[in-house]
Structure 1
Amino acid sequence: MPATPVPQPLRSLPADGLLADLLAVSMTGVIFYTPIYDPAGSGAIVDFRFEYLNPAAQRMMGMPEVPAVTHNEQWPHSKAHGTFDFHVAAYVTGEPREYNINYQADGYDNYYRLAARRSGDGLWVSFTDTADQPRSPVEVALRESQAREQAARADAETQRQRFYEVLMQLPAHVAVHEGPGLVFTFVNPHYERIANGRELLGQPIRVVWPELADHGILDVLERVYQTGEPFVAAGLPVQADFTRTGRMDQAYYDFFFLPLRDAQDRVTGVLNFSYDVTDVVQARQQVEQLNQELETRVQERTAALQESEARFRIMADAAPNQVWAVNPDTTIRYANQAFLDFVGVSLEQYVATGWSAYLHPEELELAQHTLAEAIRTGALYTLEHRMRRHDGQYRWLLAQGAPSFYPNGELYGYVGSAIDITDLKHANARLTRTNQDLDNFVYAASHDLKQPVDNLAGLWAEVRRGSRFADPAEEQLLVPMIDDALRHLRTTIDDLATLGQAQHTSTLPAEPVSWQDLTEEVLITLEPQVRSAQARITTDFAARPTVSFNRSSLRTILLNLLDNALKCADPTRAARIHLAIRQEAGQPVLVVTDNGVGVDAAKYGSELFHLFRRFHTHTAGTGVGLYLVNRLVEANGGRIVVESQIGQGATFHVFLGRA
């Protein structure tokens, strides 16, 4: 290793004479440096120390005659721009060197010409600064080129940031995997939520989701990376530990895997785009289950009938998600490939044409007004509308959007997605018609069966009066069983008749109804049950004393909710029931709270309103009441939310819809 050069004491710079005068009047900046060597002893020059700046250099650099900083401290980007290496080469070789640079860093933005030459143990550097001089055509062209390059980089970064914001705002699960291990390099908030605290970024997907190793979906993801072929699937079942409790839950997803490529068209990763359609699939399954249950129960209860109702088929195939973005003035900013494939045009054509050309004329004004109002108020955008597909057919879409903002808080526009719900709407229409047919059938069947059952009860009474069992023990066993069976059959037929009658009354016009008057009327009917349960019933109707609703339907709703609360009273304590009315978004909500035995609503909440479904066997009933309440509420555009735990009572929130 060469010995580290030892700096010699700097000869005093001439303080007078021709050289001093020349340096003083020179319009060229002059610097005298001495080298600073690597303290580790490698012999390498790591910096330069300022020893002297002439007046011109002081003026151009805004520094004193002997600056206290070093060369690299003054210009941290000197190494990156090559100027430091120029100084080192001039000193080490001892040969005169020249260097031209457009230095745009460390607070400088000028074109410099430098000349350097070693003198003894020091380095003389003279330079010119073109800040106050006319620029040459070459320099002007160079600076303009650099400006264009910077503008292009800034524009690219802006586009990248905007696309990032679109991905972050999408109401879908988005992730980017890179490399053969499919390592997470990006996830949006929706994906983070389903990961439920799992460490994602920098982790291979098989490490993050080990329970999916034998599922097959990870194999598909790897195949997209290996082949470069995209993958699209709708409604795939996925079993994973979403709650991170060791329990495998099943969900349904629409998947879209897109290979990502570099400038050489090599696959570097995969875009993972998925959409949770569990609610849609489960809704279809629940409808199918309900239809099957209704058919089975009707067949069991009406064994004298020979014909059976046709089964319902509901096919709700989820279409690939369509992603869109609009400007604050509602003009189109972006549409993804699925959207463009749907309308059958390029992005440029779609932007130029506008979305109004594809909307159904009957929904055009509503769609424009809804989006404009959402933008004006900053609210979420949700709308069902028809849109013309590339084959000319109008399809129903469910569009949802949310506002997107610049970092400074200014509205960037709206981003959202749309899914094809045409099949679901048609299925719902068929279901509505079928339900109406079924209601008519139940109504007619219950009335037709009422007379034969009454006749059977009369005949049984005559048999009991005119006959005796040979075996008294057998009489004591069979007679109560037959009486109970006839009573249960009559109750079931009466409930079915009530169900059919209520469906007819649900279409009757609304009228002003006083909550207090209606409650008093219902409590008179339920007086024996109230007395038996030692119930205390309190009310609070101050928020909305009167509601506009069909009185007969509202009486049926209140009667069955109170009857249910009384039946489910805890036998170990006196029943306490509270009725209240509150307003939510201008909609009246009936709240019924009790301290009864309760039910596990988190587990069985969706089954509470199934026909003939019962959760407590210690009380009489057929399981028709809550089903009837739910049908009447939904027929009016409302819904019911139940909060309950075993042993802690229950609270029914009845959103009355168009009231």
Structure 2
Amino acid sequence: MKAVAPMFEALFNQLTHPVAVLKADVPSFTIAAVNEQYKKSLRSTTNNLIGKAAFDVFKPWDSASEKQFDLLRNGLIQAITEKQQVDLPTINFESCVVDGVLAQASWWQIQITPVFSEDGQVDYLMCVNRNVTDQKEVSLLVENASQKEQELLEELQAVNEELASTNEELMATVDELNQSQENLSVLNNDLEQRIIERTAALAASERRYRSILNALPHIAWTSTPEGEINFFNQRWYDYTGMHIEQTLEKNWEDILHPDDLQTGLATYQNIIASQRPGEYEVRKKSINGEYRWHLLRIQPVRNEHGEIEHWVGTSTDIDAIKQLQQQKDDFISIASHELKTPITSLKASLQLIDKMKDNPSKEMLPKLILQSRKSIQRVSTLVEDLLNVNRLQHGEIHLNKTPFILSQLLNSICNPISIMGKQKIYITGNLELMICADEHRIDQVVTNLVNNAVKYAPESAITLNIQEEGSMVRLSVTDEGPGIPENKIPHLFDRYFRVDDAGYQASGLGLGLYISSEIIKRHDGEIGVQSELGKGSTFWFTVPIGAC
């Protein structure tokens, strides 16, 4: 959930209205957070609002402003006491003192929403401030115009009453009336221009809003209060490959995984019906036909009356997180099983030894000790694999390169296996070739490859071939076993990868080939495999011959 906090902070700062979050610590009302629009609305150079008492930062300057601040303070207390949203009447701040700096005169509508803790207490108050100065100014202008018009009508009536007196007075009145009409026309034109500009500003705000959604790295959309989607950002079209006409047809069965279709649509409708934010997970089909997990979050956007104006939704690709969770669960299951088997065997051997400690059997005791050693060696090998992976990840494995004859190392590895097993192991190629490498790590790689061949091709001969290729040496380990399915080969050297019982790495933690590949990479070499079902496999690696 750590990735969620930055996203909500970004959305908080991208809200179009100034928003402040206050602690419910009456009477201080400590400022806990403000968004970027709030800071801009103050037009103040101070940025140190957080942590200060609200009414220490914002102070009245005369008796009229004290009434405005009392109205705000009482609204905050009411929201805490009644535990419900409070919409304050329009407040006029002719000037506002913030740390000694006068802010711009304006009219505001303030909506106070309590934020509850888990035990139902009010912890914070979210104050959404909507600047209605333009609307108020238009209203005042209309009122002034009406008042002037009334005054003109009264003057006209007086002129009519005096019409009989003289023609000069009549002409003067007509001239005055004409001038008044011209003034009214100018005022009307001014109002029309203000309305045009305000409409253009709203259109520009809508364009900016959609530009912000298009800039998001996730799929985002908006919908009507009833949940009808009316806009998708560009990420939707990039991911699905659909065009606008296809999207408007709302064929969700072409996008959602069949197993998620009904529950996904039902959850979406339930969130819309609840009029509260919500989230859920579904699988969506990408442009290449692959279904990937997404986390959908839906948030209502309300007006000053608390009514939902529209919904905003985002869809975040969490497929990688899902895969990591599955890999973690698989690894824990595999590791538990692989460790339990030798430990169980060791426990059984020790119990039998304990029973015969007073009268040990010459036949059974050596076998039990041998079995115990094998179990301990198995546990030790599993733990060493885990430690090697950790060292590789942290760059703690360092190479200690020395010169040695490669065929001699192969003999030391293969001779004990040949003596104990049924396989015939052949070492061919350039038997005199000396290389400069970390002998211990090369031993570890070769042992892993030979053990895999012995384990999965028990009836097959095994051939190790040393071949000089320019400045590199190529060592291959070939068996005539069952082979490996083609679709499994690209993943053989992945960490924790295991295939079924017919293939390589059927037991173990799936770390042997991964560790081997990392060791070869640190030698600036390459590792790979060629395999054909029913004909066997050849694992190979190359390392520089080098000079120590």
Q: TM-score, normalised by structure 2?
A: 0.38
Q: TM-score, normalised by structure 1?
A: 0.33
